[in-house]
Amino acid sequence: METGALDSLASGTDPRRLNELLEELRALLANEQAIVQQCWNRGLPFADYIVDRWKKAKSLGFGKGSSIYDSALVLGDVKVGKHTWIGPFTVLDGSGGCLMIGNYCSISAGVQIYTHDTVEWAISGGKAAMARASVRIGSRCYIGPNVVISRGVTIGNRCVIGANSFVNNDLPAGSKAWGAPARVTN
């Protein structure tokens, strides 16, 4: 879309042009959907068809070769190393401290990583402060779908965390863990 067209849309003065632009957008979307379906046999949320995951990661200051889906939420101080994949519908919360993720990690769909919580604040009726603590995830880690990692956790290099786990304690390098709360199994 051209800038003049956006100005026109904002002022609401040209409904015919709005319809033309919507048709162009629908055609672009249909084309992108066909390409993605043919190449990878998948359907995506609307924005993921038009947002380049690698460019988004670069714009966030992530390391070379990293990617992040547009549906991911990134808050505060988040640092990601090289060649790390951040899946769709993830939450990377660096609002309570630094969130650091290493190189060659796979952060699966639906993962939520927090550097703060408001438990004490809520049960104290707002008298207690929000709890804050940085989170560090080493390199070459696999974090399964829908894992929740709480504030203050350090996960060593080469860890595997099973789907739907809740990680509220540190995990040593090379460990495999799952469950709620996650327990090391090797």
- Are 91 and 23 contained in the same domain? no
The average pLDDT across 143-172 equals 98
Residues 178, 95 share a domain: yes
The torsion angles phi and psi of 81, rounded to 5 degrees, stand at: -75, -160
Mean pLDDT of 24-48: 91
Q: Looking at 84-142, list the stretches that DSSP marks H as alpha helix, in order from N- to C-terminal side.
A: 119-123
**Residues 56 and 146 both lie in one domain:** yes
Together in a domain, 179 and 120:
yes
- Contacts by 82-86 with C-beta closer than 8 Å and gap 24+? 86/57
Across residues 149-173, what is the average pLDDT? Answer: 98
Residue located via tokens 């998948």 = 42
Angle made by CA atoms 17, 21, 22, in degrees to the nearest 5? 115
Inform me whether the pLDDT recorded for 11 exceeds 80: no
pLDDT digits (tens, 9 = 90+) for 111-156: 999 999 999 999 999 999 999 999 999 999 999 999 999 999 999 9
- The C-alpha atoms of residue 92 and residue 86 are separated, in whole angstroms, by 9
- Give the CATH number for residue 123: 2.160.10.10
With 90 as the cut, is the pLDDT of residue 176 above it? yes
Two tokens at 18? Answer: 């709005």
Q: What's the pLDDT band for 45 if we cut at 50, 70, 90?
A: confident
**Residue 15: pLDDT over 90:** no
Q: Do residues 97 and 130 lie in contact, with contact meaning Cβ atoms separated by under 8 Å?
A: no
Mean pLDDT taken over the chain: 93
Residue 59 is predicted with a pLDDT of 97
C-alpha distances in Å from residue 47, one per residue of 27, 29, 43, 74, 184? 14, 10, 11, 16, 37
Are both 34 and 12 inside the same structural domain? yes
12 and 68 together in one domain: no
For 31-45, what is the mean pLDDT? 91
If asked whether residues 25 and 65 sit together in one domain, one would say no
Confidence label for 7 from pLDDT (cuts 50, 70 and 90)? low
Task: Tell me the CA distances in angstroms from 1 to 5, 50, 149, one per residue in order.
Answer: 7, 13, 40
Among residues of the chain, what percentage have pLDDT more than 90? 81
Q: Shortest CA distance to 130 belongs to which of 138, 122, 139, 121?
A: 121
Q: Which residue has the higher pLDDT, 4 or 172?
A: 172
Q: Is the pLDDT of residue 57 over 70?
A: yes
Count of domains forming the chain: 2
> Residue 3: pLDDT above 70?
no
Left (φ > 0), alpha (ψ -120 to 50) or beta: where does 60 sit? alpha
Identify the pLDDT of residue 1.
47
The residue range of the domain holding 24 is 3-43
